[in-house]
Amino acid sequence: MKAAPFAYVRPTTPQDVVAELAAAQAHGEAKVIAGGQSLVPVLAMRLGRPTTLVDITRVERWQQIETADHVRIGAAVRQRTVERHRDLGVPLLSRALPWIGHREIRSRGTVCGSLAHADPASELPAVALTLGARFGVNGPKGTKELTAAEFFRGAMTTALEPGEVLEYVDFPRARPGQGFGFAETARRHGDFALVGITAMVETDGDRVRRARIGAFGVADRPQLIDVTDAVGELLSGEVQRADAGRVTDALAEAADALVTTGGDKHASAAYRRRLVRVLGGRELISATQRSMRRNH
């Protein structure tokens, strides 16, 4: 099948993007197109029939990655560009990016496009939630910033209103005493995850002060839970991979809370809970070790 006819515009400034979206929205449905890796299949299958596509990839200001105490990634920045960045300082993001589809997909797909698409099995929404990223939105009513918890509203659903565009996302850079872990299980390389896990641990010497795990592929949106009480003591001291069994056992309650999706043809809910515990336990240990060795 081919896409239904649509108008196509390619503005070069943020103001023009917002103006084009408003103008098109007045007599039809306008859609932002960034990398097109999710939108084009939707159009081709006629699951969506927007009347105008507003291509944002020529907006120079949104092609930038700015690094300060946080990392600001503009709306037109491709996933692969961030993956190849040498001094990003956001280790969880760098670990997660290679897991997205295939290199060809990441060479076109944008970081903000993935966040705006909000697939519940996507890596980047979970990374954003875990790190407390901030989302810069521009639209007819002006600009605003949202937290990840405010931004993700459900499966493929965000707080973006018609005519609004996600301009940038801000990720905090890693601080001393933090360690991160990331893992996912998919049926084949490049497939969306059955379950994915993020781990973030903060240590003080050999003591764990705070431990959290995030999960994706387990609910209608990314999830995050504090597991300090459940595993903080187990992770403190000289924690080893061999301790993974005990950490896995201690994550039973967390896994129950994180996995709210029922089973589907790929995996049962029980199998997903098991994956959360096993991957979560393993990544919490890795994150703790990295934090204590000061290499994030």
Ligand X SMILES: Cc1cc2nc3c(=O)[nH]c(=O)nc-3n(C[C@H](O)[C@H](O)[C@H](O)COP(=O)(O)OP(=O)(O)OC[C@H]3O[C@@H](n4cnc5c(N)ncnc54)[C@H](O)[C@@H]3O)c2cc1C
Residue 32 engages ligand X in binding (rule: CB under 6 A): yes
CB-based contact 203:290 (threshold 8 Å): no
* Candidate residues 14, 21, 25, 35; the one interacting with ligand X per rule CB under 6 A: 35
The piece of 118-126, 247-255, 258-266, 281-289 that touches ligand X (CB under 6 A) is 118-126
Residue 38 engages ligand X in binding (rule: CB under 6 A): yes
The piece of 37-45, 89-97, 256-264, 272-280 that touches ligand X (CB under 6 A) is 37-45
DSSP state, residue 60 = G
Count of residues binding ligand X (CB under 6 A)?
A: 29
- Amino acid 14 reads P
Residue 163 engages ligand X in binding (rule: CB under 6 A): no
What is each CA distance from 152 to 19, 101, 238, in whole angstroms? 25, 21, 37
Compare residues 38 and 289 and give the one whose CB is closer to ligand X.
38
Residue 71: half-sphere exposure toward Cβ, Cα within 13 Å? 22
Residue 148 engages ligand X in binding (rule: CB under 6 A): no
Which of 177, 289, 290 lies closest to 242, judged by CA? 289
Which of 236, 276, 234 lies closest to 253, judged by CA? 276
* Candidate residues 34, 126, 148, 279; the one interacting with ligand X per rule CB under 6 A: 34
* Candidate residues 117, 212, 273, 296; the one interacting with ligand X per rule CB under 6 A: 117
Cα-flanking dihedrals φ and ψ of residue 6, to 5°? -150, 155
The piece of 18-26, 28-36, 222-230, 241-249 that touches ligand X (CB under 6 A) is 28-36
* Candidate residues 18, 43, 59, 75; the one interacting with ligand X per rule CB under 6 A: 75
Compare residues 62 and 251 and give the one whose CB is closer to ligand X.
62
> β-pairing, 195-204 with 65-67?
unpaired
Compare residues 219 and 252 and give the one whose CB is closer to ligand X.
219
- Please report the beta strands in 206-282, taking only residues with DSSP state E, as ranges in sequence order: 207-216, 223-226
Residues in CB range of 268: below 8 A, 6 or more apart: none
Residue 236 engages ligand X in binding (rule: CB under 6 A): no
Minimum distance, C-beta of residue 191 to ligand X, in the bound complex (Å): 6
Please, which residues bridge with residue 147 across strands?
Answer: 134
- DSSP per position, 78-127: BHHHHHT-SS---HHHHHHGGGSS-HHHHHH-BHHHHHHHT-TT-HHHHH
The piece of 19-27, 107-115, 126-134, 271-279 that touches ligand X (CB under 6 A) is 107-115
> β-pairing, 223-226 with 207-216?
antiparallel
* Candidate residues 31, 80, 221, 282; the one interacting with ligand X per rule CB under 6 A: 31
* Candidate residues 97, 165, 247, 285; the one interacting with ligand X per rule CB under 6 A: 165
Compare residues 39 and 255 and give the one whose CB is closer to ligand X.
39
Minimum distance, C-beta of residue 245 to ligand X, in the bound complex (Å): 29
Largest CA distance in the chain: 63
> Under the rule (CB under 6 A), what is the footprint of ligand X?
31-39, 56, 75, 100-101, 105, 109-110, 112-114, 116-117, 119, 122-124, 160, 165-166, 192
